[in-house]
Every structure is written in C-alpha cells, then in structure tokens.
Amino acid sequence: MRDYLLSIAHPLGGPKARYLISRGYHPEAADVLENHLTEVARAGRVESTEATEWGTKYLVVGSLEAPDGGPLELATVWMISGEDVPVLVTVYPWRGG
C-alpha cells in the first residue's frame, strides 16, 4: 500500500499517491487507506466483472469520507483467483460509468 498507492516516487502509483495524499491519506498511516479500501470492497457496488487467465477481476465502487473530511468515491479493482482471497490490483477516483 505504502510503496505503491502512497508513494509519489512510484512510476505508476505516483499520480494516485499525489491525489490520495491531497485527500488526507499519508504513507505513515497506510492502514487508514487499507481499511477504507477494505470497506469499499465489502460495501461497495460491483460495476463489472471479467474472467481473466489469472482469475476474476472485479471493479467495485464505493463512497466514503476521506481523511480531509470530504466525500470520496473510489473505484477499486480486485482479483480473485483459485483461493478466493481478493487481491487489490489498483484504485482510482471514480468519475462515473
């Protein structure tokens, strides 16, 4: 979490990190983001599913209150393979369908 979604230096995660940090998330408290993403996975709405060679990919969208106190709608992508344990693939701000 800290080395991807909250790392400005990460080549792919950097833009996401800048956005998430601007919304009040911090690398020193990565567990807050992890807990919020888990809540999105549990209570969010499944926008799409896709069978892939690595398992089933789920796009799950959910709303929550960001640490900065404002509303935040996130798209989370999860992969579930044979062991039925969801693995977070990525996160991005949801801008609608």
Confidence (pLDDT) at 42: 94
Q: Answer whether 6's CB lies under 8 Å from 26's CB.
A: yes
pLDDT, residue 84, reads 80
Confidence at residue 83, expressed as pLDDT on a 0 to 100 scale: 76
Walking along the chain (97 residues) 10 residues at a time, the average pLDDT comes out as 92 94 96 96 96 95 96 96 88 85
Residue 31 within a domain: yes
Q: Which residues contact 75 (CB under 8 A, 6 or more apart)?
A: 47, 59, 60, 61, 91, 92, 93, 94
pTM of the model: 0.90
- pLDDT for the residue 97: 58
Question: Is 57 part of any domain?
Answer: yes
Is 3 within a domain? Answer: no
Q: Specify if 60 maps to a domain.
A: yes
Domain that includes residue 43, residue range = 14-93
Quote the pLDDT of residue 78: 96
CA distance readout (Å), 4 to 27, 45, 53, 62, 97:
10, 24, 24, 20, 25
- Residue 5, domain member (yes or no): no
Whether 62 maps to a domain, the answer reads: yes
* Count of domains observed in the chain: 1
